Amino acid sequence: MGVNIALDGPSGAGKSTIAKMLSEKMGYIYVNTGELYRAIALYMIRAGVDIQNDGQVEENLPHVEVGIEYSDGLQHVILCGEDVTSQLHTPEVSMGASRVSAIPAVRSFLLDMQREFAKKYDTVMDGRDIGTVVLPDCDVKIFLTASAEERANRRFKELQEAGDSSTYEQVLADINQRDYNDTHREIAPLKKADDAVEIDTTNYDLQQSVMIISDTVKKVLEEKQSKQESKTPRIRDTIDFSDVRPVTDPKKVNPIRLFFFGIVRRIIYIIYKIKFKMVYEGLENLPKTGSNIIASNHRSYRDPVFAALRLHVPCSFMAKEELFKGNVLFAWLIRFLGAFPVARGSGDMTVIKEAVARLEMGRNLVIYPEGTRSKDGKLGRGKTGVALIASLAQVPVVPMAISFKGEKLRFREKVIISFGKPIQPEELKLTSSDIRELKAIREKIMNSIAVMVDENVNKL
């Protein structure tokens, strides 16, 4: 899960502008959840739906396609294929958003989307109930407010600049009505989370507000990190890897096995060439021998095959233990192909030792640091297991990226498989038992994968 910052507060408090500037300053992704509700309201207004009728709104939800795209660092709301970002702040849409956001089905409709962003990215997310409902366990909670008159004045200026003819009195009445609706609705009412920091920006300009909130966020994150470090045991206190030695003299793969591996690899390569438009890049970075870690993003169940087709030595793979508990024949097959079970999240040292043992056998080891497949092709947050294995085994890590369009790999789909320059063992050493060193190694590996994923997406 990424680092998540929640900015909650009433309408017109400046959440969107401040959250956007804060995200740019911290290098995080900005998610304006209020605009998602505004998009729902806009759809219902366009469709002639009575937004006072919960049943009618719920009936029309299956027809709504809403999503978020980013261009030049700015969030764009896409409604049924149309960029409607510029149409979301009229008084009519504002009141409609306040109304539809009180409908349980609408909140449920958007909840998964918001949480999915938070799992994958470091985010600054603003709304009405981010810290209380959407992300109750987020890292920092800010409750941003200002007087109703000041908020109305800010919104009035924005509307004037956009060419809207609304009067100040209308905007103030809208602000007061929205405040009442947001604080009195039964579902997820606007309220300050118990552990949120309240900041009143009535007497501050935009730059001052951003500076105050930025300082507050940094202070809270530093305090939490300090507490976590005092509670977090050192690596050597939690895992005994005293009997794990670096792979300095790996065995050679049996020549007969190597011969048959080469034959099978060529046959499968021909089959896959027929099924998919495979494009391999960076083959010059692949080692000719074994005992290397191949660290890749995870897009489909075919990923191990894409890796093995270009490697000169048989591979071993980590696979979730559930795959070994079902069909007996299938379990035997994946074991035969080099897979071994991993209980995800268990921190079992036997898995680490088994991984190093496979490298000692002269085999390559393919690891998917994300731990699960990505449906949209975006790289998730890696786990530290790959860093621990790499630092203990002291073997090269070859970053790998697999990219194709859509969620599922289809017949004759273009697939780009890239291999990056190996990260050498001397870059992967742990000089102390500080967990931060392990995280730094993980980030080095994940960043090398991320660069290739981004390049591949632009070529599809």
H or E, element range at 55: helix 54-60
Q: Predicted confidence band at 448 (pLDDT cuts at 50, 70, 90)? A: very high
Q: Which of 82, 74, 84 is nearest to 42 (CA)?
A: 84
Q: In this structure, which amino acid lies at residue 256?
A: I
State residue 231's pLDDT score: 61
- Residue 366, beta-bridge partner list: 294, 317
435 vs 239: CA distance, rounded Å: 12
177 vs 172: CA distance, rounded Å: 9
State residue 72's pLDDT score: 65
Query: 3-state DSSP: the chain helix, strand, coil percent, rounded to 5?
Result: 50, 15, 35
CB neighbour burial string for 220-257, b if at least 16 within 10 angstroms, e if fewer: beeeeeeeeeeeeeebeeebeeeebeebeebeebeeee
Please name the residue that has the structure tokens 């604080």: 183
Structure confidence by residue, pLDDT tens digits, 377-433: 888 888 888 898 999 999 999 999 999 998 889 999 999 999 999 999 999 988 776
116 vs 136: CA distance, rounded Å: 14
Top pLDDT among 120 and 231 is at 120
Structure confidence by residue, pLDDT tens digits, 231-289: 655 554 555 555 668 898 899 888 998 898 889 899 999 999 999 999 999 999 999 89
For 371, phi then psi, to 5°, come to 85, -15
Q: Name the token pair of 141.
A: 């909670």
Q: Please say whether the beta carbons of 171 and 156 come within 8 A.
A: yes
For 244, phi then psi, to 5°, come to -95, 125
Q: In this structure, which amino acid lies at residue 226?
A: S
324 vs 29: CA distance, rounded Å: 38
Domain boundaries, the chain: 4-231, 238-459
Mean pLDDT of 208-236: 78
State residue 47's pLDDT score: 94
446 vs 161: CA distance, rounded Å: 43
Percent of the chain clearing pLDDT 70 (strictly above): 93
H or E, element range at 41: helix 33-46
Inform me whether the pLDDT recorded for 230 exceeds 90: no
User: 4-231: which CATH architecture?
Assistant: 3-Layer(aba) Sandwich (3.40)
Q: In this structure, which amino acid lies at residue 344?
A: R
166 vs 149: CA distance, rounded Å: 15
263 vs 267: CA distance, rounded Å: 6
Q: Please say whether the beta carbons of 106 and 37 come within 8 A.
A: yes
Q: Which of 124, 159, 153 is nearest to 6 (CA)?
A: 124
For 95, phi then psi, to 5°, come to -65, -40
Q: In this structure, which amino acid lies at residue 372?
A: T
DSSP letter, residue 262: H
Inform me whether the pLDDT recorded for 185 exceeds 80: no
State residue 444's pLDDT score: 92
**What is the chain's mean pLDDT, rounded?**
87
CATH level 3 topology of 238-459: Glycerol-3-phosphate (1)-acyltransferase (3.40.1130)
Alpha helices in 101-250 (DSSP H): 104-120, 148-161, 168-184, 206-231, 235-238
DSSP letter, residue 80: T
Q: Please say whether the beta carbons of 334 and 324 come within 8 A.
A: yes
What are the DSSP calls for 407-429, one per residue? Answer: SS--TT-EEEEEE-PPBPGGGS-
Structure confidence by residue, pLDDT tens digits, 245-260: 889 889 988 899 889 8
423 vs 399: CA distance, rounded Å: 8
Q: Name the token pair of 344.
A: 């995800």
Mean pLDDT of 357-381: 88
State residue 321's pLDDT score: 77
pTM over 0.85: no
Mean pLDDT of 65-88: 85
Residues 6+ apart with CB under 8 A from 398: 285, 286, 287, 292, 293, 294, 295, 419, 420, 422, 423
Q: Which of 421, 442, 418, 441 is nearest to 431 (CA)?
A: 441
395 vs 67: CA distance, rounded Å: 42
